[in-house]
Amino acid sequence: MQRVAIVGLGLIGGSIGIGLRQWSAENSKSGQSALEVAGFDQNLEHQSRAKKLGAVDRAEWELRKAVADADLVVLATPVVAMREILSDIAPLLKSGAVITDTASTKADVVQWAKEILPVTVHFVGGHPMAGKSESIDGAEGTLFTGATWCICPSVSANDEAVRTVLGMVAALGAEAFFVDPVEHDAYVAGVSHMPFVISAAIVNALTADPGWKDMKSLTAGGFRDTTRLASGSPAMHRDIALTNAESLDRWVSSMIGQLQDFQSRLSQDEESRADAIDEFFTNARDRRAEWAVQTSREAELLGAPPEAASEGIGDQMSRMFLGGFMRKKRVDPTKTSNGAGGRTP
């Protein structure tokens, strides 16, 4: 039986635990579960809730007890807390343990792991592109189904460690996507972090206006949809911005450029203004339509029936996770030649 420890039992950590325990039960042999999932969180209410939701087999009140015998340790805490946690667990890990994380930024975390963790363990950075509410109460085993899970192995991580994390990702129903940590941070700054910055900026701009008291009576679906992300955790957003400032700065500049471009179109002469404004919105509509069609086609490919193709790499990886990479079983290279299990950058 493999032992998994989850440090941080919020929405992401709780959902990982529920998903792994469901998968473990489905893949049990002779009544024996494939995995044992231990959990730790500094918030004791989160620990109790995680246990009630079935996210862990056991909740430990001490970090040491949670990670000491773990084959795989999943860090699901705020990104700024990762450095301290890595320092705390470094002397507690058994030789050969695999460490992964779920932080929204990767370059700093991968560097911290390189500096702090002993050479006897292996770090494989991760980032599931999925989420909704912040609370453990929203945790569910299907949260990651069909989601992209970024994989950023450290230079020192061996193939077996990478396959272990791929097995976990496949068991949770996600699609692995290998990406360099620096490129990851640049990409997510645009597609993931900028949306909550813009959402917050809209709220700050409108609510600071003297007319907001009367204006808010007119808010409807457009305001609600575009400002939903502003209701997220300020601490989480702050930590992301602190660990990805350079990339965010680039996208903020790009957004300012777009707004200034639109502002200039508003001030054009009456004869050309309508066409200029129409062009702005038409371009955005068309680019979004291209994105929607592309993602829809990718979803259809991922959902192809079994008879349309041979066994998927996700199925292979989840079975291999059950087999236990820590036992150093020989792996048939013909079955792992596409080990990423998904797209490549």
Residue 54 has pLDDT above 80, yes or no: yes
CA 146/CA 257 separation, integer angstroms: 34
Among the residue ranges 36-40, 312-316, 341-345, the one predicted with the least confidence is 341-345
Q: Write the burial class of residue 335 (CB in 10 Å: 0-12 exposed, 13-18 middle, 19+ buried).
A: middle
Question: 190 and 169 share a domain?
Answer: no
- Residue 227's contacts (CB-CB under 8 Å, 6 or more residues apart) are 199, 202, 203
pLDDT of residue 282: 98
In tens, the pLDDT along 121-149 reads 999 999 999 877 667 888 999 999 999 99
Question: 50 and 171 share a domain?
Answer: yes
Better-predicted residue by pLDDT, 326 or 254: 254
Question: 217 and 135 share a domain?
Answer: no
Residue at 79 is within a domain: yes
The residue with tokens 């044992």 is 36
In tens, the pLDDT along 77-86 reads 999 999 999 9
Across the range 289-294, mean pLDDT stands at 92
pLDDT of residue 328: 35
Question: 173 and 41 share a domain?
Answer: yes
CA 271/CA 111 separation, integer angstroms: 56
CB 89 within 8 A of CB 63: yes
Q: Domain count of the chain? A: 2
Residue at 342 is within a domain: no
Among the residue ranges 77-81, 93-97, 298-302, the one predicted with the least confidence is 298-302
Q: Which of 132, 131, 167, 126 is nearest to 150 (CA)?
A: 126
CB 194 within 8 A of CB 252: yes
pLDDT of residue 295: 78
Q: Which of 300, 242, 12 is nearest to 108 (CA)?
A: 242
DSSP for 182-240 reads: HHHHHHHIIIIIHHHHHHHHHHHHHHTSTTHHHHGGG--HHHHHHHGGGGS-HHHHHHH
pLDDT of residue 321: 59
DSSP at 27:
T
pLDDT of residue 28: 83
Across the range 96-119, mean pLDDT stands at 97
Question: 146 and 226 share a domain?
Answer: no
Question: 318 and 211 share a domain?
Answer: no
Residue 10 has pLDDT above 70, yes or no: yes
Residue 124 maps to which CATH number? 3.40.50.720
Pick left, alpha or beta for residue 123 (phi over 0 → left; psi -120 to 50 → alpha; otherwise beta): beta
Q: Which of 101, 149, 90 is nearest to 124 (CA)?
A: 101
pLDDT of residue 302: 55
Residue at 345 is within a domain: no
Q: Which of 196, 183, 208, 163 is nearest to 316 (CA)?
A: 163
Residue 233 maps to which CATH number? 1.10.3660.10
Question: 35 and 107 share a domain?
Answer: yes
Residue at 236 is within a domain: yes
Better-predicted residue by pLDDT, 342 or 242: 242
Better-predicted residue by pLDDT, 232 or 113: 113
Domain extent for 95: 2-179+310-335
DSSP at 137:
G
In tens, the pLDDT along 149-199 reads 999 999 889 999 999 999 999 999 999 999 999 999 999 999 999 999 999
Residue at 244 is within a domain: yes
DSSP for 259-314 reads: HHHHHHHHTS-HHHHHHHHHHHHHHHHHHHHHHHHHHHHHHHHHT--GGGSS--HH
pTM above 0.85, yes or no: no
Residue at 166 is within a domain: yes
CA 67/CA 81 separation, integer angstroms: 17
Confidence of residue 299 (pLDDT cuts 50, 70, 90): low
Question: 14 and 144 share a domain?
Answer: yes
In tens, the pLDDT along 255-278 reads 999 999 999 999 999 999 999 999
The residue with tokens 């939701």 is 53
Residue at 188 is within a domain: yes
Question: 129 and 75 share a domain?
Answer: yes
Question: 164 and 243 share a domain?
Answer: no
Question: 196 and 242 share a domain?
Answer: yes
Q: Give the chain's end-to-end CA distance (angstroms, integer).
A: 34
CB 38 within 8 A of CB 21: no
Q: Which H/E stretch holds residue 151?
A: strand 148-153
Question: 24 and 87 share a domain?
Answer: yes
Residue at 341 is within a domain: no
Confidence of residue 326 (pLDDT cuts 50, 70, 90): very low
- Residue 51's contacts (CB-CB under 8 Å, 6 or more residues apart) are 39, 58, 59
